[in-house]
Amino acid sequence: MQRDLFMFSNGTVKRKDNTIYLIAEDGKKRALPIEQIENLHLFGEVSLNTAFFNYAGQRDLAVHFYNYYGFYTGSFLAREKKVSGLVTVKQSENYLQKDRRLDIAKSFIKSAVFHMLRFNRKKKNTTSYFVEEIKKLEKTINSVTSISSLMGIEGMIRQNYYRTLDEMIPDEFTFQQRSKRPPRDPFNALISFGNTLMYTTILSEIYKTQLNPTISYLHEPSQQRFSLCLDLAEIFKPLFVDPLIVSLVNTKKIQLHHFDDHEGIIYLSEMGKKIFIEAFDKKLKDSIQHRQLKRKVTYRYFVRLECYKLIKHVIGDTTYKPLKAWW
């Protein structure tokens, strides 16, 4: 099974024959098992040459880059091999037709709300005032007639949802509101880092299908981002990322000393990132018995299944029904 490799070292990555080496700043050379790697995540300052990128392209290796604070900055992805003109055209048609786009966008939000409420049930937080507010807002989703109005409701739902998360965590991690650019407290830093890893995971899975990651439905397509990743992330953040974060702080695997403060920007230290990534990667490999497929499916593969369902919807095969966890 191929895996993700996360690198924090500074240095130079070079190819010699069919072997890729990391040459660290101290001169030490380390061979990288490219044949076993599906995604390479670079958190350090690494120099790369064209020989490496050519080889990475041949091996279908995705390389994801992160800045000093651990924020995602971009990716190198091999030339698309599963391009489908039909799927791209149908994706575009579903975006351009207002009703079709709105139906897909609502599906993402409904799945997100389902998983938000599910998580609160699992944490026995069902009597929370904020849970009740989420339920009230959920009832308005079907009556929405525009994407902008839907995004407004989604924003209010998420504000209340974050308040429910605050009710589940230790006092030292308490936070009042979401702050993204930059994170202003440790819990916001965890959310940002977890969402970043989820984004790159979804991008890697989209590239294994015929979907175009720049054509989206809830979020507006943009030249500067793969907006379909943001759409699908709505489903998986409350199902996967947020429960992982709450677990890490409640079990004290992540503590306040795992964060650094740079001029008011709060971010995970290298050790904090490593702890988080280890837990994230392990969770992606957890498997669930799939009711329709009659076999165990990992969390990572659930992302790809969501892509397949979306493809079937846009080409008119079957109506898209977003994931709603049954386990």
Rg (the chain; Cα; Å): 20
Element (H, E) at 271: helix 270-285
Sign of the torsion formed by the C-alpha atoms of 201, 42, 257 and 286: positive
Please tell me whether 219 is known to bind a ligand: yes
Please tell me whether 132 is known to bind a ligand: no
Element (H, E) at 306: helix 299-314
Residue 164 tokens, joined: 């429910």
Element (H, E) at 95: helix 85-96
User: Contact at 8 Å (CB) between 200 and 41?
Assistant: yes
Instruction: Measure the CA–CA gap between 143 and 234, rounded to whole angstroms.
Output: 20
Q: In whole angstroms, what separates CA 162 from the centre of its chain?
A: 17
Please tell me whether 234 is known to bind a ligand: yes
User: At a CB cut-off of 8 Å and minimum separation 6, what does 292 contact?
Assistant: none
Residue by residue, DSSP assigns 122-189 as HTT-TT-HHHHHHHHHHTTGGG--SHHHHHHHHHHHHHHHHHHHHTTS-GGG--SS---SS--SHHHH
Inter-CA distances, 162 with 100, 118, 128, 264, Å? 30, 14, 12, 21
Question: What residue numbers does the annotated binding site cover?
Answer: 154, 219, 234
Question: What residue numbers does the annotated binding site for Mn(2+) cover?
Answer: 154, 219, 234
